[in-house]
Amino acid sequence: MTKKTKDKIIFTAESLLESNEYKDISIREVAFLSGISIGTFYRYMNSKEELLEQLKIKFDQKVYNTLLKQTKGKNPIEKILIFFDTYINYITKYNYKFFVFFIPTLLEKQDFISQSKNLCLLKQYIEEAYESDGFNDIYSQDYIFRTLSSFFIGTIFNWCFSMGKSDMKKDFFSNFDTLISKFKN
C-alpha cells in the first residue's frame, strides 16, 4: 500500500504542475486530489520540499527510461539528438515556473553534473561518437559536453524568460545542427 499512495501523491503533484506553479500548489490540494487526508500525506512526505525532491527524481527517471528505450540501435550522433529531444518533450509538459523554481536548486549542487544519471548518458553518447570517429578529436569530449549543455541550459532559460511562450524545440535544434557540425568528422 505504501508505494501506491506515495506514487499517487507524486502523480497528483505532477498533473497539477502541468498548469500550475509549484509555489501555488498546496499540500491540502495535493492530498484532496489524491483522495487522502493531510495527515496521511505527512506519513509519506515530510514536507513540500521532499515532494519537490521526489518530483525531480521521478522526472529524471522518466527521461532516463525513455532515453534507454529510444536510443536502442541508434548511432551515437542520433543518440545525442534523441537526448535533447526527449528532455525538451518532458520539460515542455510542465509549467515553465516549475523550472524557474527548479533550475536554481541545480546551481546550488556543485556535484550536479556528475550525479545526474541523465547527464552521464549524454557524456556516454559523446564518448561513443568520439570513439567511433564521429567527432573530430581536436575537440575534447569535455569541451563538446560543455558546449552542448551550455546551449541547452541557456535555451531553457530563455524559455522561462519568455514565460513558456518561446518554441524551445525549434530554438534548440535550429542551432544544434550548427554547433554539432563543427565537431563532426
Task: Enumerate binding residues for a second copy (CB under 8 A).
Answer: 100, 103-104, 107-108, 110, 112-113, 143, 146-147, 149-155, 157-158, 160-161, 163, 166, 171, 174-175, 178-179, 182
- Distance from C-alpha of 153 to C-alpha of 103, rounded to nearest angstrom: 9
Residue closer to a second copy by CB (options 13, 171) is 171
Residue closer to a second copy by CB (options 42, 143) is 143
Residue closer to a second copy by CB (options 141, 166) is 166
Residue closer to a second copy by CB (options 42, 157) is 157
Length of the chain: 185
- Distance from C-alpha of 152 to C-alpha of 146, rounded to nearest angstrom: 10
> In this structure, what are the phi and psi dihedrals at residue 184, rounded to the nearest 5 degrees?
-70, 150
How far out from the chain centre does Cα 182 lie?
25
- Distance from C-alpha of 174 to C-alpha of 16, rounded to nearest angstrom: 31
To a second copy, the closest distance from the beta carbon of 16 in angstroms equals 20
To a second copy, the closest distance from the beta carbon of 171 in angstroms equals 6
